[in-house]
Amino acid sequence: MFLVFNPYAQGQVIWIIAGNDRNLTRLAHSTYGELVGPTPFPQPEVNLFRPESAVVGGIVFFELSDVGGSLLPIAKAEYFDGTSWVLIGEDDGFDPDYDVERSTRTIMWDTYGLPSGWYIIKITLYDLIGQTGEIAVRIYVDQPPIPQVQVVSYNPETGYVSFDASESYDPDGEIVEWVWDFGDGKTAEGPIVEHHYDLEYLLMPIVVSVTLADDKGISEKKEYVFSNGSIKEEFVPEVKAIREKIDKLLKMYEDLKSLSDAQTGELKELLSDASSSALYAGSDLTYPLTDLVAFKDIDKAIEGIEKVKSEIKNIVDTLSKAKDLATTQNLKDQIQSHIDKLHEIWIQLQFVYGKLNLIKMIGTQAHGAEIDVPDVRIGDGSYYTWCTSTITLLRSDVWDTDVILHELDHYIWHEKAKNELAGGGHWIDEHLGDRKYKEYLKAAEDMLKAAGLPPNVPQAIKDHLKDLAEEEGKKLALSEGWAHFSMAVKQKDPEYWDKEPGNNDDVRFDIEKGKYWKESENKWVNATNKGEDVELSIAGILWDLFDGAANGVNDQDNDGVSIDFKHIWCAINEKKDSKGKVVRSPPNNIKEFYKNLIECLKEAGVPYDKDKVDKVFKNHGVTP
Ligand SMILES: [Ca+2]
Ligand SMILES: [Ca+2]
Ligand SMILES: [Ca+2]
Ligand SMILES: [Ca+2]
Ligand SMILES: [Zn+2]
């Protein structure tokens, strides 16, 4: 590698494109001797489209693709620290399950705390036969401003509030812009601002934000909950989510009222019932929310949400009857659109419910406001797409609490651990490594066929695919096992039940008993597979670590192990030191989880019986 320009020179930023006629020489070699004839994999060529600017601050994403659009390249980014190349991250993008989403590679760079200045970044794409493509770019790392906000004055009778962000600072420059969003649709600029709220906005908590931009053009946004004259950093996502639901419910109340005014007879009555229920549900949400923000009582907030959830089910029942009675297609469609909105509100309240339960178990300090409430859409199945942080739900799953919490737990773990999740088809009682290998081999054979070659995958590539498949199978088993377990813990119930009315395809299993329900034969059957790449084994291990006297959950195995959820949560997530450096990574498989768990228990000074803990793993076919 040879760089012909001076990386520390001032002036225009040069984006260097790989190619023999440019500043960098592209390397190409083949490591596997078995391949003859034309290579099935075109040589990788880097196409970098993010970051868009040469000046960055905070968390930076490198997004790139292979110019040829191949699925195979693995991306790596490094920066030059003056003497050597330091790894930023890698994205092993080989995953036939994600041929649409994974056509790009994403590498995250956490620049908080790095010295400000110009950095040379080298990005390399590798493919499975050892070919590489490279580019280098020059990027200026800036430290973003650090916001600090106070309420200076507040008058609940007039609605006047003054906010002060003048204590905010920029570690390596100056703040040049302060932009406020008061949460009521109004904005203002300046370090100290006075705002007048319509009094109705002050009845319940509201999210206020300030965005600070520095002299390099890098900005930092921070959101706060403003309630009863004070601001707090906690519960921003919950307040935002519930606030949005209240607005929707109140809008629905108006819509249904005008809809019912235009009708006659039974239909009018039903629509008017639905309308007053919507009003009731909307106003009822504000009480638990106030308690929540005042940190009074999370249980009360959860109880309030449960009440509103059952009220929403009632409105949907009423609306379904009204829809049957409606005489025009137009009216039927209007009513259906209200039902759709209510489904969405109900799902979002389930998310808030799930999050509040998590906060209850791990405490507000460990929680942080960084995990937002996810987006959801109704689609062709129920799954979580980690690269877009979106949950998709099947329409027949909208009332299935277990399914919703399972997908929420994929989301929360992913958002918290910032890890890549494994994806693809899976069943609780199978070796996922075997499934993955079959899929990978088929993908490789298809690529050879597409290149006009006989589908004989060289042994070296087969071995490589086998390794990848085993790793990925264990990763998928951990991801699914975690979501089953976390769903179960929130409800203190080890059974998962995805109901599918009318069909014989309910998905129902018990992670304590290791059994699943065969709906067609109306009986429970024992799972037959065990091990690191079997999701029911992973869910079983996690549940057995948790169940028992200390957590107030009956343990049929009586294994003498009952670990507080917060230590299990510790083991599934990363740990950073005081400088923000990652000192423990989220686990990729159950054995790595075991290692983390022992560390977490030691750090917390919690005594544990190693033999008993090991036995829990061994019972499920895993030797830690
Ligand atoms: Ca700065
Ligand atoms: Ca269902
Ligand atoms: Ca047990
Ligand atoms: Ca136990
Ligand atoms: Zn899942």
| pLDDT tens string 264-321 | 899 999 999 999 999 999 888 888 888 887 777 888 888 889 899 999 999 999 999 9
Lowest mean pLDDT among 122-126, 450-454, 506-510, 608-612: 450-454
Report how far ligand 3's centroid is from the alpha carbon of 559 (Å): 7
Q: Cα–Cα distance between 55 and 152 in angstroms, integer?
A: 34
Strand 175-181 to 160-164 pairing: unpaired
Torsion of CA 76, 81, 85, 86, to 10 degrees: -50
- Identify the pLDDT of residue 93: 59
Q: Ligand 3 is a single-atom ion; what residues have CB below 5 A from it?
A: 544, 547, 555, 557
Report how far ligand 4's centroid is from the alpha carbon of 539 (Å): 12
Q: Is residue 343's pLDDT more than 80?
A: yes
Identify which ligand lies nearest to the alpha carbon of 620: 3
What is the tens place of the pLDDT at every residue in 549-608? 999 999 999 999 999 998 999 999 888 888 778 899 999 999 999 999 999 999 999 999
Report how far ligand 4's centroid is from the alpha carbon of 512 (Å): 9
Q: Is 160 in contact with 198 (CB distance < 8 Å)?
A: no
- Identify the pLDDT of residue 96: 42
Identify which ligand lies nearest to the alpha carbon of 477: 5
Give the pLDDT band (50/70/90) at residue 153: very high
Report how far ligand 4's centroid is from the alpha carbon of 547 (Å): 4
Q: Is 320 in contact with 273 (CB distance < 8 Å)?
A: no
347 CB-near residues (< 8 Å, 6+ apart): 376, 393, 398, 404
Q: Is 121 in contact with 63 (CB distance < 8 Å)?
A: no
Q: Is 402 in contact with 498 (CB distance < 8 Å)?
A: yes
Report how far ligand 4's centroid is from the alpha carbon of 618 (Å): 13
Average pLDDT, the chain: 85
Report how far ligand 4's centroid is from the alpha carbon of 205 (Å): 41
Q: Is residue 504's pLDDT more than 80?
A: no
Query: What are the φ/ψ torsions at residue 230 (nearest 5 degrees)?
Result: -130, 160
Please report the DSSP string for 428-441 in residue order.
TTS-HHHHHHHHHH
Q: What percentage of the chain has pLDDT greater than the value 70?
A: 89
Please report the DSSP string for 27-94 in residue order.
P-----TT--SS-SSPPP-EEEEE--SSEEESEEEEEEEETT--S--EEEEEEE-SSSEEEEEEEE--
Q: Is residue 22's pLDDT more than 50?
A: no
> What distance lies between CA 256 and its chain's CA centroid?
35
Report how far ligand 4's centroid is from the alpha carbon of 526 (Å): 19
pLDDT mean over 517-530: 94
pLDDT mean over 16-35: 26
Highest mean pLDDT among 71-75, 131-135, 397-401, 613-617: 613-617
Report how far ligand 5's centroid is from the alpha carbon of 395 (Å): 17
Residue spans of alpha helices (H) in 432-589: 432-450, 459-491, 535-546, 565-572
81 CB-near residues (< 8 Å, 6+ apart): none
Report how far ligand 5's centroid is from the alpha carbon of 310 (Å): 26
Report how far ligand 5's centroid is from the alpha carbon of 28 (Å): 40
What is the tens place of the pLDDT at every residue in 210-244? 999 999 999 999 999 998 889 988 888 888 888 88
Q: Cα–Cα distance between 52 and 67 in angstroms, integer?
A: 17
Identify which ligand lies nearest to the alpha carbon of 381: 2
Identify the residue with better confidence: 411 or 149: 149
Give the pLDDT band (50/70/90) at residue 205: confident
3-state helix, strand, coil in the chain (%, to 5): 40, 25, 35
Q: Is 55 in contact with 216 (CB distance < 8 Å)?
A: yes
Report how far ligand 3's centroid is from the alpha carbon of 287 (Å): 38
Q: What percentage of the chain has pLDDT greater than the value 90?
A: 54
Identify the residue with better confidence: 70 or 244: 244
What is the tens place of the pLDDT at every residue in 416-439? 776 677 778 899 999 999 999 999
Q: Cα–Cα distance between 91 and 105 in angstroms, integer?
A: 6
Q: Is residue 129's pLDDT more than 90?
A: no
Q: Ligand 1 is a single-atom ion; what residues have CB below 5 A from it?
A: 142-143, 170, 172-173, 214
| Strands of 375-379's sheet in order across | 375-379, 390-394, 383-385
Report how far ligand 1's centroid is from the alpha carbon of 173 (Å): 5
438 CB-near residues (< 8 Å, 6+ apart): none
What is the tens place of the pLDDT at every residue in 38-61? 455 678 888 898 888 889 998 899
- Identify the pLDDT of residue 200: 78
For residue 468, what are its two tokens?
Answer: 């990848």
- Identify the pLDDT of residue 103: 67
Identify which ligand lies nearest to the alpha carbon of 403: 2
Highest mean pLDDT among 57-66, 92-101, 270-279, 356-365: 270-279
Identify which ligand lies nearest to the alpha carbon of 394: 2
